[in-house]
């Protein structure tokens, strides 16, 4: 119930978001994003644009420490100036190091700030661990079988058919699907305002009306993509919990 209430609040908030949304397309670790935006908030305090631009060439020096390059990128992204954006863009094109994701975040922030400054309208920037495109987030989902057995051919065919039908109904796109013993994993691009859990509930309901082989619980996230081993652990924990409940009864 707590998750349902939280999810409904998120959906309400998304429906109040204006149409000028920018979604971070690239998959970037969520912890790195949190650190970037923390430094971004701090960078605005007492920022001297002339001083930052004078130091900008240090970005391209091999002798400049990584943490100083990170700070420079964050500072440049905060300036709302075309020359700052061009410097970040140049570094983005030339940089092939561990700062690739950090540079992408700086580039997106700089571009949005400049657009806001020029047009007088601030776009809403939304990011997630798995990225997105247009007004769609990339989600990772997993559906679990009632029995810890490989899916049969007809179950695979039915599942894929119902997944494609449900996603198409909600203007969504299937990117990948993988069948494993006891569960199926998929990634899909789904509009941010669509009723996410309803999509997966529809899939489960339709499959169970015909075959009755899926659990009603599911895993859905736009933070990270789970490995097969992690999903196997989740399934085994579900089975163990059910066995403990049966013994307790």
CATH superfamily of 132-248: Transposase IS200-like (3.30.70.1290)
pLDDT one-digit tens code per residue, 213-230:
999 989 999 888 999 999
Tens-binned pLDDT, residue by residue, of the chain (249 aa): 333 444 455 555 555 555 566 778 888 888 999 999 999 888 877 888 899 999 999 999 989 999 999 999 999 999 989 999 999 999 999 877 779 999 999 999 998 888 877 766 666 677 788 988 888 889 999 999 998 899 999 999 999 999 999 999 999 999 999 999 999 999 999 988 788 888 999 999 999 999 899 999 899 998 889 999 999 998 888 776 766 665 555
pLDDT for the residue 120? 63
Q: What are the CA-CA distances from residue 9 to residues 98, 102, 127, 159, 221 (Å)?
A: 36, 30, 18, 30, 16
pLDDT for the residue 6? 43
pLDDT for the residue 175? 96
pTM: predicted TM-score of the whole model, two decimal places: 0.74
Check if the beta carbon of residue 69 is closer than 8 Å to that of residue 94.
Answer: no
């Amino acid at each position: 119930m707590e998750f349902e209430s939280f999810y409904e609040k998120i959906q309400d908030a998304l429906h109040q978001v204006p149409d000028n949304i920018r979604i971070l397309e690239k998959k970037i670790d969520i912890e790195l994003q949190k650190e970037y935006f923390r430094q971004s908030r701090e960078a605005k305090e007492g920022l001297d644009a002339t001083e930052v631009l004078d130091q900008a060439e240090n970005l391209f020096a091999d002798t400049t420490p990584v943490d100083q390059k990170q700070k420079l990128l964050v500072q440049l992204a905060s300036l709302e100036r075309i020359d700052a954006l061009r410097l970040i863009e140049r570094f983005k094109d030339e940089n092939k190091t561990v700062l690739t994701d950090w540079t992408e975040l700086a580039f997106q922030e700089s571009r949005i700030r400049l657009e806001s400054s020029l047009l007088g309208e601030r776009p809403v920037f939304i990011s997630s661990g798995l990225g997105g495109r247009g007004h769609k987030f990339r989600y990772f989902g997993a559906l679990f079988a009632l029995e810890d057995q490989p899916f049969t051919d007809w179950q695979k065919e039915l599942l894929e058919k119902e997944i494609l039908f449900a996603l198409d109904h909600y203007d969504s796109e299937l990117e990948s699907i993988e069948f494993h013993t006891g569960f199926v994993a998929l990634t899909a691009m789904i509009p941010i305002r669509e009723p996410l859990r309803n999509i997966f509930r529809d899939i489960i309901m339709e499959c169970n009306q015909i075959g009755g082989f899926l659990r009603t619980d599911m895993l859905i996230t736009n933070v990270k993509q789970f490995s097969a081993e992690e999903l196997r652990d989740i399934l085994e924990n579900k089975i163990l919990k059910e066995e403990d409940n049966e013994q307790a009864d």
